[in-house]
Structure 1
């Protein structure tokens, strides 16, 4: 369905569609509670609601993203609870049967200040893992027993590290989906820097996106 996004809010792209495809394969338990971390437009939250989730919570640090997700929920007539806050902080003490996450994961050159505006939707430090590492460490605390995490990110920020961190946190994980996609305009604009760091090959035009599935005991 068409979605509205305020300026500076992450609009659904290939990684969003890949994660939605993985979501649709999940068999949700009765009265399932779903969390969408870093919701952006609310696309994943809406997909979870349409997939049969009884309760969907969408969190984002950006006020514009929260307003976009809230508006899209209203337009679609789906009961989406939207909360503004940093990552898992707003849902501390709550448990969910499914956590969806499409966090910022693009490696970025050192900046004088933390990313702001549209850059905050994709830039994630020099290794692309500023948000990913925090998410891997914190997600076990919000998963119900047998709860599932579905996480999408690029191979540019090391899939093996994500799998290892989730395993250390007690969440056995595996890659369920892979797709090659063209480098986006932001990535292409810093291609020389990425090549200098060995994250891509000179002249590389594609990157691999993966969905990682982890499940609580």
Structure 2
């Protein structure tokens, strides 16, 4: 069991309040955690189908959908995609971070386009940090244009949303694309971005 999944389970368990929730949680773990062959245990394909059913069934708590999506996503099951994108855009940063981790593992071809749409949406800037970081990790054709668009907008905005702006500069530095030169030069005019922008420019220019 990987560390991220353990952290997810600890977080979810801390949210539970009723005996019914604890019972549902334990039953879900029986599907999500592969304990190896055991008498009466469902086969892997059956477990995956049951987990996928949780994603589309009505009245399922968010924590159950999150555990199911995580389990399917790290196994490369693209049925988790829609739920993971929903969580990537969620109001709680910890859920966004978990979703971004799994989407990076899933490698669904739709991921970069979805992350770019979230990162560039001016109405969702407060939730754009993890989509920006995911775009950097993916190194997809959508990555550089989305980071440039987002950073350019933030530089001109009254509220620069510094964490997202810094993530854009760091992402452009990691991607090393010379299309970023103009926007990185503009970023140098802001004290909070200058040193990062200088590092990014050196990398973009091959220095």
TM-score, scaled relative to structure 1: 0.31
Larger Rg: 2
User: Which structure exhibits the higher relative contact order, with contacts defined as CA atoms closer than 8 Å and separated by 6 or more residues?
Assistant: 1
TM-score, scaled relative to structure 2: 0.32
